[in-house]
Structures are given as C-alpha cells and as structure tokens.
Amino acid sequence: MNKFTEKEKYRVLARAAKTKLDFKEISLVISEKISRLEEFKSAKTVMSYLAKDSEVSLNSLFNDKTKHWFVPLVKDSSLVLTSYEDGKTMLSKGAFGIMEPVAEMSECFDQIQRKIPIDLILVPGLYFDKKGARIGYGGGYYDKFLKLNPDSKKIGCCSRESLYDELPQDEWDVKVDLVVIS
C-alpha cells in the first residue's frame, strides 16, 4: 500500500473520531500548556491558525499582546501570512470554509519575495506522531510553508487520541519540533 493511501485511511478515521471529541476542553488544555512553554514565552512573532469547529482552537492565546500575531490565508494556491489582532482584524470565510483575515496581497508575507521572520509556528493537524510527523488535510499547504521557515520553532497541537507512535510520511513532509497534546 502506498503512503498516500495510508494517509487517506487516517483522514477517514479522523472525520469519524472528531464527532466524539470535546474540542472546547481539548483547546483549553492545549492553549494552557503552550502558554507555559519557554518557546512561547520567548517568541515575539507567532503564527497561529484560525480553527474550524472540529479543530483544536488556540484563539485564547491571541490575548497575549506581547506578541506580534500572524495567521495564514490562502492566496493564489499558496499559504501566506498577514498580521492579526484579535477582535480588530476583519475576517471572512476563505478557502476550505476557514475564517481568514480580509487582506490584499500587498499586506501579506509570502515568505519568498516578501518574508518576515517568525519565531514560532503553531501547526494544526489531524494526527501527529511522537517524532513530530503530521498528517493534515492533504493539500500540502503547511508542508510548503514550513519549508520556507526552517529557523522557526514548529509546535503541533492535537488531542491525546490523535497522537500515534509513528505515522506514514512522504519525502516532502515537514516535521514539527514538538507536539502538545491534551
């Protein structure tokens, strides 16, 4: 069986498992753990994501005003960053039904032609393993983005049930440095 097929099996499992998880509680536990990490405390620039209903939400971390926050959005089939201020940045439904800031490309950082150093990247995923491997939704957006930011600390976030000993990986997959679980 090829790795793509193996990963698809995990994605099907994730859809079924999500209905049984209390993402509100899981999100609170993970956010609290992240807020205590030295990597988070020392970071000045942080990229996080705006979660869908069936994902770990890190929105409470946006309350930390000592950080300059960035969130991703999809522009021209790529993941780019834009500045984010909780409660002030205008949002609309973007790619894949995910809330994204309303921003012109001139306000975004593509990390190629227009780059901004990011100290910490908080990474969503369906599953992670104990070695930092991740299975996402299958678009490859995060893997491409993480490769453009090799010096950033990368932290994955998932429920305890979504952490495995080992997951199938492809040569283009980028591992996270640390996984925080509920």
Q: What is the pLDDT of residue 85?
A: 95
Q: What is the pLDDT of residue 18?
A: 85
Q: What is the pLDDT of residue 2?
A: 60
Domains defined along the chain, listed by start? 3-181 (3.40.50.10420)
Q: What is the pLDDT of residue 28?
A: 97
Blockwise average pLDDT, block size 10, the chain, 182 residues: 78 88 96 98 98 92 97 92 95 90 95 96 97 94 96 97 95 97 96
Q: What is the pLDDT of residue 96?
A: 83
- Of 149, 164, 170, 176, nearest to 17 by C-alpha is 164
Q: Tell me how far apart the alpha carbons of residues 5 and 20 are, in angstroms, rounded to a whole number.
A: 24
Q: What is the DSSP annotation of 2-44?
A: -HHHHHHHHHHHHHHHHTT--HHHHHHHHHHHHHHSHHHHH-S
